[in-house]
Structures are given as C-alpha cells and as structure tokens.
Amino acid sequence: MTRSVETASGRGSAEDDRTADQIRRDIAARRESINAAVDQLNSRLERAMDWRAQVADHPFAALGAAAAVGFLASGILTPRRSPAERLVDALVSSAQDLGYARSSPGFIAELVKSAAGAVLLQTAKRYINDRDSDSRHQTSM
C-alpha cells in the first residue's frame, strides 16, 4: 500500500513514500511536542505572574515596591491641613515645648485666642490700608 508521489522535478523523494499511518504518527508526535511546549510556557507564565513567587525570588525589590506604594498612597489619601490648623498645631507644640501645657491647662486656649486676635488685627490693618490707598487713588484721578 505504499505510494510514491512524483515531485515537480519528476523524482519521488523518500519523505513522499510514507504511508498514511506514518503521517498520522508524525502528526501525533508533533502535536505532543507542541502540547509539551505550551504546557512548559504556561507554567513559566504562571510562575512569572505569581506575586508570591516574585516576592520569594526578589525580596528587597518587593520591599522597595511596597514602601513606594505606601508612600504614594499616604500622600494621596492624607487630607491636607488648613493654614489655621497648622498654626494651632505649631502654637500647641511651642507651648508644650516650653512646658506651659503641663503647668496651666488654660494657657493653650489663651495662647490660641491671642494668636487669633493678632491674625484678625493684621487682617483688619491690611483691609484699612488697602481701602485708604484705593480712596487716595480715586481722588487723585
């Protein structure tokens, strides 16, 4: 049942003398080879995508990446404090550094009131100065 196939040059080759059964076996062998290669590639890809394996393989890089992500997340998620809150915190910290907070509990409240009064006075002074300069500017025209 062996058939020889003539090629364009008129000669049959040894590869062309294979039977259908031999061709099927060759296809099955190549299919097995391809399946083995795909399985190997799949396992390598799973290993590369497994974060636990990456942390085990590169612990210092994972630590650095985790620190960077934490730093960025804290910068994004932490609410910004207003200037007034920062001023109060600075005053409280200064009072605590001086030891006044321990000796007189009402001192911090008085200190905050005094600072708020000073800020209000400066704001009023700027407003009056700006209003006077605007009125002088309008009368000179």
pLDDT (tens digit per residue) in 60-83: 999 999 999 999 888 888 777 777
**pTM listed for this prediction:** 0.35
Query: What six digits make up the tokens of 54?
Result: 């990456």
pLDDT confidence of residue 66: 92
Local confidence band at 2 (pLDDT 50, 70, 90 cut-offs): very low
Residue 23 has pLDDT above 90, yes or no: yes
Q: Which residue has the higher pLDDT, 1 or 52?
A: 52
Residue 69 and residue 115: Cα distance in Å, rounded?
39
